Structure 1
Amino acid sequence: MSNTPVIAAVDGSEHSLRALEWARKEAVRHGCGLLVAHVLPDHAQLYAGRRASLHDASEPQEIPDPVRDWVRSLLGADGPELPEGVAYEALEGSVPEALRVIGSRARMLVMGSRGRGGFASLLLGSSSRAVASTAACPVVVVPHAERGAADTDADTDAEQSAGRVVVGLHAAETPEDVLTFAFTEAAVRGTTVQVVSAYAIPPSPTLVIDSPFAVIPPEGLADEGDGVPAEREMLRSQTERLAPLRERFPDVPVEQAAVPGDPAGRLVIASRAAALVVVGRHHPRRTAMSLAIGSVAHAVLHHAHGPVAVVPTLKDDV
């Protein structure tokens, strides 16, 4: 296990509370540290600059930070199970840039879908989108309660541990980092990876796009099967691409699904019963330093019913 921590980005809002709780459980699962990061608001940053420039010994040494006190109260001795190492860090600068920098030393960075300053109607806040688009580490965005799965009264512990890990796969283009992240997350949860690929088909008056899709094990891909050619070919491509992952993670059950229609829409549907949805950030044909998030990742971030991990390409030669 790497010593790199899980980082939770917080601002004292209800959205960041959900992110903090998700990150706490994730750090416990991985046996790594938890770093809670708060980007100070503008007025606190101005106060810190004024104090530093005046060198006034009468000024308090510690910048007032209500969020730090809030975090301490939540993670105190009487609180939930904690990972072995928990730290808090106040950051200065813009939210996206400060989190991008600190994320360079993280296993993953976890944040809420909206911050304290976001409009209530927004599905995804600008800071969450910017960090997911630029961070060097995987970014997990935890949606606010209104976007939760249909069973909103479900116990959150069961919701986070019982569901499968869903990963979107384009067999020829999805980077290995995305698959490795998904299988690792399934392994620490003791759950299944469901691999979803979508294929385009000609319009048909009998096609119902929102119908449930079939999950087919590799042994069901014999030549005498009755799947449509596009579906069967995609499942075969999946099986070939997943073979090295199955060898590396022999204890992780795998479900394969090849479905007609839009990949983002299918992943959003699958998110209703998932503990985590994993998507790649960039189309591999773009440059490694591209700031544009892929269309599938963008749509899933906006509409998924549960946490979404956006995984960057970590190798420059992809």
Structure 2
Amino acid sequence: MSNAPVIVAVDGSEHSLRALEWARAEAELHRTGLVVAHVLPDHAQLYAGRRASLHDRGAPEETADPVHDWLRATLGGGPGLPGGIRYEALEGSVPEALRVIGAEARMLVMGSRGRGGFKALLLGSSSRAVTATAPCPVVVVPHADRSAGTDASGESAGRVVLGLHAAETPDDVLVHAFTEAAVRGTTVQVVSAYAVPPAPALVVDAPFAVIPPEGLADEGDGVPAEREMLRAQTRRLEPYRARYPDVPVEQAAVPGDAAGRLVMASASAALVVVGRHHPRRTAMALQIGSVAHAVLHHAHGPVAVVPTLHDDD
């Protein structure tokens, strides 16, 4: 998949414009092509089906596609699209059409809400469905009301933040995070949660500690469960430190659920990377894990939800 394109789903809305700008910058980082995909509305699909079934040669071959016109105007205003960018008009339901085209993608990029969404919704139904079923990593770019510390394209110069369960997160999730950090020349900050809570005074608004591996000696005042989690992180990260020697790594362990810390970190992060399914769920499960669900709904910057792409065994 080294030459696979970045695919971005658009519908002409402000939310999809943010996704388009982020995806275009991402394609440039990876030096690959950009495919801009639009799932045609029902009326256009019905027209095409009626024309085909009736063999009506007198009807126009194509209906107007205002999203294609919007895309040309957005990317330069000329009759065609810039080099390296291709437009695809898709038919079918949004989740299914994007699931199919996602099979050829390096990643699929979407806005957090589409044109038809209610303003009060934190995450649109299409974005939620696609993140649960796509065969490739899905990056959801939040709308402007939720963005913090990012420029107009949704990018940030910050680190890549990885939500890691040392024993269960699939290797594909780690590879995605380290690859994204490598192309940006930035740090991977690894956040894991441990089950045993510290004293209440340490829980309330306590910033998580970032500890280098050399700081994990047996002595010290750290919470035992925290230190054991950091050791488990270190063991899990060893092959990735070797594979990506130029990518700095920071480690953090937090009590309870990691989702809140990942949301906090998203405000200054270039990207937050989480896995999609809990490993005990079946491959066809339609729900994403609780951490991914919470981060998608509340993150202030782009979130990559990565499925299991290979058998780690």
Normalised by the shorter chain, which TM-score bucket?
A: over 0.9
Decide whether the 8 Å contact of 1:161 with 1:189 is kept in 2. Answer: no
Decide whether the 8 Å contact of 1:209 with 1:260 is kept in 2. Answer: no
1:20 aligns with 2:15: no
Residues 209-218 or 111-120, more deviating: 209-218
1:108 aligns with 2:110: no
- State the alpha-carbon separation in 1 of the partners of residues 204 and 257 from structure 2: 9
- State the alpha-carbon separation in 1 of the partners of residues 198 and 241 from structure 2: 35
The secondary structure found in structure 2 opposite 1:147 is coil
1:270 aligns with 2:269: no
The secondary structure found in structure 2 opposite 1:309 is strand
- State the alpha-carbon separation in 1 of the partners of residues 112 and 205 from structure 2: 25
- Which blocks of at least 5 consecutive residues in structure 1 are unaligned? none
**2:147 corresponds to:** 148
The secondary structure found in structure 2 opposite 1:145 is coil
Paired letter, 2:151: D
- State the alpha-carbon separation in 2 of the partners of residues 77 and 233 from structure 1: 57
- State the alpha-carbon separation in 2 of the partners of residues 223 and 203 from structure 1: 18
**2:187 corresponds to:** 192
**1:68 corresponds to:** 68
The secondary structure found in structure 1 opposite 2:202 is coil
Cα drift, residue 23 of structure 1: 0.4
1:94-243, aligned counterparts within 5 Å?
A: 94-149=93-148, 151=149, 155-156=151-152, 160-202=155-197, 204-243=199-238
Decide whether the 8 Å contact of 2:259 with 2:291 is kept in 1. Answer: yes
Cα drift, residue 285 of structure 1: 1.6
Residues 263-272 or 103-112, more deviating: 263-272
**1:287 corresponds to:** 282
Q: Deviations over 1:187-240 (max 9, x none)?
A: 011110000011123474423333211111112112333322111111111011
Q: TM-score, normalization: structure 2?
A: 0.94
Q: Deviations over 1:31-70 (max 9, x none)?
A: 0100000000011111111222232333222331000011
**1:253 corresponds to:** 248
**1:46 corresponds to:** 46
- Which blocks of at least 5 consecutive residues in structure 2 are unaligned? none
Decide whether the 8 Å contact of 1:166 with 1:277 is kept in 2. Answer: yes
- State the alpha-carbon separation in 2 of the partners of residues 109 and 68 from structure 1: 19
- State the alpha-carbon separation in 1 of the partners of residues 287 and 151 from structure 2: 36
The secondary structure found in structure 2 opposite 1:160 is coil
- State the alpha-carbon separation in 1 of the partners of residues 258 and 270 from structure 2: 18
**2:84 corresponds to:** 85
**Percent of matched pairs sharing the same residue:** 80
Paired letter, 2:193: A
The secondary structure found in structure 2 opposite 1:4 is coil
Q: TM-score, normalization: structure 1?
A: 0.93
Paired letter, 1:304: A
Q: Deviations over 1:83-105 (max 9, x none)?
A: x5210000011101111111011
1:56 aligns with 2:56: yes
Cα 1:295/1:230, change in 2 over 3 Å: same
The secondary structure found in structure 1 opposite 2:89 is strand
Paired letter, 2:203: V
